[in-house]
């Protein structure tokens, strides 16, 4: 059994400067603790970082927290010993005191869910993302999934809120608390709007990569529509949306589906037999590209065995199409000006007080601005 001591040893936090004694650096609070801004120092500069505090002693961490640390450590470098461009960068893991642990990540100004909601609210008639921006985002998502799945890791909670937009304009996958190996346990489920039908039906094999592929395909559809494709209020309603769109399960196009239906934990499914809708009726923008329509059909397939793998998806014509867009354009489309901030702040040589008065003020000001900005979206966030 892997010991957590072995995992965190290479990720010490000696150069992490937390700022709570100077003011309120908290960004948000969650089930395991809170996330705050801090500084990471070296001889030349201060780097803005995000600290995720996890409650629990070293040997008594909650299961999801343990798996997050374990998975993040395993994903921090590629075969070329370089950081993967589409996985959030873990910079340090350290004990703040005897009752909690802290994870230091690179600071990313926004996640995709906040970005999409900001775009919806900032105009009376919001402009949809250009198809080339969507393609670039999708390429980043599938590149991350291809890397994870090649290492035998299934994320199991793919959603816009777990896709960060970095300062260099890359989309990075984060929050691996539900991630498991392909042979791991089946506890924990993806967020409702992005759950695959087999998971909703109670399939016990919910550590398969196909779960991630279905959710990622729905995110592409959401980017094209400007809204979530299916928004069920419970599992039964979500299944209804899926079956009315993709067709009701049948052995002829989903072998093994009837066995799942027969053991469904809510009893009989109250859905009349329906045929699949065309993707162009669900997502009209696919009429701009037959390759996009094919891509969605292959990723958001009812039968998990028919979903295209992440590796094969990277070779699909729609993703391979040369995107006439750069990372700066992606940042301009996704990051609100209110949340934009330099990653590297004043150098220690320029410091005017302990830890550097100027960067401390900057960080506390950014944290305050971010809390105010996020408070606008509390009602919407409750759905995610």
In terms of Cα–Cα distance, which of 212, 226, 257 is closest to 239?
Answer: 257
Q: Following CA atoms 292, 135, 153, 255 in sequence, which dihedral angle do they give, to the nearest 10 degrees?
A: -10
For residue 331, the surrounding DSSP H or E stretch is helix 327-334
Q: Following CA atoms 21, 26, 29, 30 in sequence, which dihedral angle do they give, to the nearest 10 degrees?
A: -90
Using CA of residue 272, residue 274, residue 279, residue 281, what is the dihedral sign? negative
CA 158 – CA 172 distance, rounded (Å): 12
**Backbone φ and ψ of 214, nearest 5°:** -60, -50
The DSSP result for 35-96, as a single string, is: EEEEEEE-SS-EEEEEEEEEES-TT---HHHHHHHHHHHHTS--TTSS--TTBPPEEEEEEE
**For the chain, how far is it from start to end, CA to CA, in angstroms?**
34
175 is catalytic: no
CA 298 – CA 314 distance, rounded (Å): 12
- Measure Cα distances from 81 to 106, 181, 259 in Å: 18, 21, 45
Tell me the HSE value of 187 on the side-chain side, using a 13 A CA sphere: 5
CA 253 – CA 275 distance, rounded (Å): 11
Task: Copy the structure tokens of residue 84.
Answer: 């993967």
CA 303 – CA 297 distance, rounded (Å): 11
Task: Copy the structure tokens of residue 118.
Answer: 């900001």
- Which distant-in-sequence residues (6+ apart) come within 8 Å of 144 by Cβ? 84, 86, 87, 171, 172, 173
Cβ atoms of 166 and 334 closer than 8 Å = no
Task: Copy the structure tokens of residue 38.
Answer: 């801090």
Task: Copy the structure tokens of residue 27.
Answer: 């960004």
**Backbone φ and ψ of 34, nearest 5°:** -140, 165
- Given the residues 157, 175, 203, 212, select the one marked as catalytic: 157
What is the set of active-site residues? Answer: 157
């Amino acid at each position: 059994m892997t010991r957590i001591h072995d995992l965190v040893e290479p990720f010490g936090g000696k150069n992490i400067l937390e700022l709570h004694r100077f003011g309120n650096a908290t960004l948000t609070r969650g089930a395991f603790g809170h996330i705050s801004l801090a500084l990471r120092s070296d001889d030349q500069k201060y780097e803005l970082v995000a600290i995720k505090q996890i409650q629990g002693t070293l040997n008594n961490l909650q299961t999801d927290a343990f798996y997050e640390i374990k998975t993040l450590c395993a994903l921090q470098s590629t075969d070329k010993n370089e950081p993967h461009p589409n996985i959030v960068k873990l910079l340090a893991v350290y004990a703040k005191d005897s009752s909690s642990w802290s994870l230091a990540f690179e600071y990313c100004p926004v996640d995709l869910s906040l970005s999409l909601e900001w775009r919806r609210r900032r105009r009376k008639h919001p402009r949809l993302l250009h198809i080339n921006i969507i393609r670039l985002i999708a390429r980043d998502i599938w590149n991350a999934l291809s890397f994870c799945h090649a290492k035998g890791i299934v994320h199991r909670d793919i959603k816009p809120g777990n896709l960060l937009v970095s300062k260099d304009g890359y989309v990075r996958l984060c929050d691996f608390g539900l991630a498991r190996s392909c042979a791991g346990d089946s506890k924990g489920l993806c967020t409702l709007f992005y759950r695959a039908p087999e998971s909703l039906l109670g399939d016990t094999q919910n550590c398969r990569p196909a779960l991630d592929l279905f959710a990622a395909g729905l995110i592409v559809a959401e980017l094209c529509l400007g809204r979530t494709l299916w928004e069920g209020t419970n599992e039964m309603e979500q299944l209804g949306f899926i079956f009315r769109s993709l067709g009701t399960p049948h052995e002829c196009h989903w072998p093994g589906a009837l066995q799942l239906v027969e053991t469904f934990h809510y009893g009989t499914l109250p859905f009349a037999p329906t045929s699949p809708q065309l993707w162009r009726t669900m997502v009209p923008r696919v009429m701009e590209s037959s390759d996009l329509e094919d891509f969605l059909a292959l990723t958001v397939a009812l039968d998990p065995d028919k979903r295209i793998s992440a590796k094969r998806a990277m070779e699909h014509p729609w993703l391979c199409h040369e995107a006439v867009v750069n990372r700066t354009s992606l940042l301009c489309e996704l990051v609100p000006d209110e949340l934009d901030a330099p990653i590297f702040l004043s150098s220690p040589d320029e410091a005017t007080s302990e830890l550097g008065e100027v960067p401390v003020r900057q960080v506390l000001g950014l944290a305050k601005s971010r809390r105010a900005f996020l408070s606008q979206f509390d009602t919407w966030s409750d759905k995610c």
